[in-house]
A and B are shown apart, each in its own frame.
Chain A
Amino acid sequence: MSAVWIPLANIFGILIAAVLLAALLTWGERRLLGFWQDRPGPNRVGPFGLLQVVADMIKLFFKEDFVPRFADIPVFVLAPTVVMATMLLGFAVIPVAPQIGVIDLNVGLLFFLAMSSIAVYSVMLGGYASNNKYALLGGLRAGAQTVSYEVFMGLSLMGVVMMSGSFNLREIVQAQTEGWFIIPQFVGFLVFFIAGIAESHRLPFDLPEAEHELTAGFHTEYSGMKFGMFFVGEYLSVILISSLITTLFLGGWLGPWLPPVVWFCLKTSFLVMLFILMRAALPRPRYDQLMQFGWKVMLPLALANLLLTGGILLWNQ
């Protein structure tokens, strides 16, 4: 009996928690931005404005679900579902605590990379199917940006893989009992964090939807819940990347005194706050600066980190 119930509880618990947290983050982000920018933020609906999420949801659900007649309709409908589906699937491999986690996959890390590389289609197809110049430009930018940053997103993680000798996320956490990987792999952490911002196209790198030049980029033509899926998908990817950084570099659930789940949540929410702080603090670069930074700074850094880690590991063998 419990053999069926425990996995089911895990699956639905993580699924519901991920979606709820992503929805809540839409409020949390605006409150935190308000705090840093010395203004209240949304504080009218419910205690501390907490019910703002519900108000936004009601608004999104009741908006007209408009599909432009010049759009490529099947692709237009498919596009927003891709990001939601892949990001939620990505949560399947995250080990939240020793007993909590959906699947213990021996290629867990690669599974995450696969999901994040499939998620690009959402933005690209959304941009294409809208049949709109701004959306197309946004989609093209998203495609080029994500493909470039994916290269060293994978490379930056290989240092961790070499040190723990496994692609399995649980084994990677267990390999950090003597010390978190953020200390020996600080360069890898930095590169992965920056690549993570670019992958989820969050603010310093949100060129695909840069509103000052592209209206709203790839989701210009989207409204109602289709837009909502893009929106929630973005927050899901922020949470997913934060929890992955926690797992890979900050020792996952490991920590003294508190129960493992609490440690995991604390570290992840700290990283999510860091994501929001980056948004509040940094200006947007130009598109060519973004690409040059990727290929000319981050890629060599990731490669050098890989070479050094491999060399030191071989030396100590």
Chain B
Amino acid sequence: MNTVFYLTATIAVLATAMVIFSRNAVHALLYLIISLLATAIIFYLLGAPFAAALEVIVYAGAIMVLMVFVIMMLNQGDAAVQQESQWLQPKSWFGPAVLAAVLLLQLILLLDSEAAANTQGAHAVGAREVGIALFSRYVLAVELASMLLMAGLVGAFHLARGKHTKSAERDHAI
């Protein structure tokens, strides 16, 4: 079980690194999908099959599809890749990389001192437990999140609708 976990975690970390270093936007998104799938497997290993399934359905299957969709629609060619390669100069990433490395070091030290054995033997969290937790203890947060999403939806609709002109009607038919 530990081997699977470390293997999956390595894949997740490598894929996430590739998201940053890929020069082609679509390739970067593909690595991000791999990273999300790896995260789902880690959820499953930690005894949360429901969260794992939702991770794949919602993040990998729906949100990332929309991102790929937008990138595809922009249809950037080699020019974008060239531009991206100019952005990744050492002087722009060296500072953040050092700071992030310090954080990583802290995380490793913390994990080491905690002995990191809490995850073993955790009981499985199914759909029922997640549902009960969402609609009892966290109901306020759930409602707030849904209000926020609703506001976002209405706002997006308002922005995209534009003025009622003939061209808007025609755009609607595409």
A→B interface (CB under 8 Å): 72, 74-75, 78, 105-107, 110-111, 113-114, 117-118, 120-121, 124-125, 127-128, 136, 139-140, 143-144, 146-147, 150, 154, 167, 287-288
When C-beta atoms are compared, the residue in chain B nearest to A143 turns out to be B69
A150 to B64, CA, bound (A): 14
Q: Does B155 contact A (CB under 8 A)?
A: no
- CB-CB under 8 A for A75 and B57, given A107-B49, A128-B72, A136-B75: no
What's the nearest-Cβ distance from chain B to residue A285, in Å? 13
Q: Which residues of A contact B18 (CB under 8 A)?
A: none
Other-chain contact of A113, B24, B27, B57 (Cβ < 8 Å) = B57
Q: Which residues of A contact B54 (CB under 8 A)?
A: 110
Q: In the complex, are the beta carbons of A114 and B69 less than 8 A apart?
A: no
- CB-CB under 8 A for A118 and B61, given A74-B27, A124-B68: yes
Kindly list the 8 A-B residue pairs having the minimum CB-CB distance in the complex, ordered from nearest: A117-B61, A110-B53, A114-B56, A143-B69, A107-B49, A107-B53, A128-B72, A114-B57
What's the nearest-Cβ distance from chain A to residue B28, in Å? 12
What's the nearest-Cβ distance from chain A to residue B110, in Å? 32
Q: Does B127 contact A (CB under 8 A)?
A: yes
Q: Which residues of A contact B126 (CB under 8 A)?
A: 106-107
What's the nearest-Cβ distance from chain B to residue A186, in Å? 25
Q: In the complex, are the beta carbons of A125 and B53 less than 8 A apart?
A: no
Within 8 A of A (CB), among B38-95: 49-50, 52-54, 56-57, 60-62, 65-66, 68-69, 72-73, 75
What's the nearest-Cβ distance from chain B to residue A167, in Å? 6
A120 to B57, CA, bound (A): 12
- CB-CB under 8 A for A111 and B53, given A75-B26, A128-B26: yes
B→A interface (CB under 8 Å): 24, 26-27, 30, 33, 49-50, 52-54, 56-57, 60-62, 65-66, 68-69, 72-73, 75, 124, 126-127, 172-174
When C-beta atoms are compared, the residue in chain A nearest to B50 turns out to be A107
Q: In the complex, are the beta carbons of B66 and A147 less than 8 A apart?
A: yes
Other-chain contact of B57, A124, A136, A154 (Cβ < 8 Å) = A154
- Residue of B56, B61, B172 contacting most chain A CB atoms (<10 Å): B61
When C-beta atoms are compared, the residue in chain A nearest to B55 turns out to be A114
Q: In the complex, are the beta carbons of A117 and B60 less than 8 A apart?
A: yes
When C-beta atoms are compared, the residue in chain B nearest to A129 turns out to be B26
- CB-CB under 8 A for A107 and B65, given A121-B33, A154-B57: no
Q: Which residues of B contact A105 (CB under 8 A)?
A: 49
When C-beta atoms are compared, the residue in chain B nearest to A105 turns out to be B49
A117 to B174, CA, bound (A): 24
A144 to B61, CA, bound (A): 12
Q: In the complex, are the beta carbons of A110 and B50 less than 8 A apart?
A: yes
- CB-CB under 8 A for A143 and B56, given A72-B24, A136-B75, A288-B172: no
Q: In the complex, are the beta carbons of B57 and A288 less than 8 A apart?
A: no
Q: In the complex, are the beta carbons of A150 and B53 less than 8 A apart?
A: no
What's the nearest-Cβ distance from chain A to residue B45, in Å? 14
- CB-CB under 8 A for A147 and B62, given A114-B53, A124-B72, A140-B69: yes
Q: Which residues of B contact A106 (CB under 8 A)?
A: 49, 124, 126
